């Protein structure tokens, strides 16, 4: 969700610094994971659907706009989008490994 918000801010002309989430574990007991996972998955689908509806309408000029990334410096939005796509696939592979 954070990446979507930052991408949207840049498209709307708010040149912001890219923030990295804490990624801290919340230590929940296993019986609570499934309902929370389902809710999180629904939210993630909603964010991705909204993001996709924006992306299909972006011009090449929009995708060439830049944003500040803490590790990579100033990068074009299309490069950030590529990084987001890779990152999502990377997480999916971890899930596949955990389920196998």
Using DSSP's 3-state secondary structure scheme, residue 90 falls into helix
| HSE (side-chain half, CA atoms, 13 Å) at 5 | 8
Cβ proximity of 68 and 15 under 8 Å = yes
pLDDT digits (tens, 9 = 90+) for 43-87: 889 988 998 999 999 999 999 999 888 888 999 999 999 998 999
Enumerate residues 6+ apart whose C-beta is below 8 A from 66. 10, 15, 74, 75, 76, 77
- Kindly state the DSSP code that residue 27 receives in the 8-state scheme: -
Cβ proximity of 69 and 18 under 8 Å = yes
pLDDT digits (tens, 9 = 90+) for 4-45: 777 777 777 766 555 555 444 445 555 556 677 788 888 889
């Amino acid at each position: 969700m954070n990446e979507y918000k930052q991408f949207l801010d840049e498209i709307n002309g708010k040149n912001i610094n890219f923030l990295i989430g804490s990624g801290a574990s919340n230590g929940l007991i296993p019986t609570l994971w499934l309902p929370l996972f389902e809710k999180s998955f629904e939210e993630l689908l909603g964010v991705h659907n909204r993001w996709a509806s924006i992306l299909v309408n972006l011009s090449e000029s929009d995708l060439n706009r830049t944003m500040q990334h803490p590790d990579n410096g100033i990068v074009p939005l299309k490069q950030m989008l590529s990084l987001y796509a890779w990152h999502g696939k990377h997480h999916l592979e971890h899930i596949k490994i955990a389920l196998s």
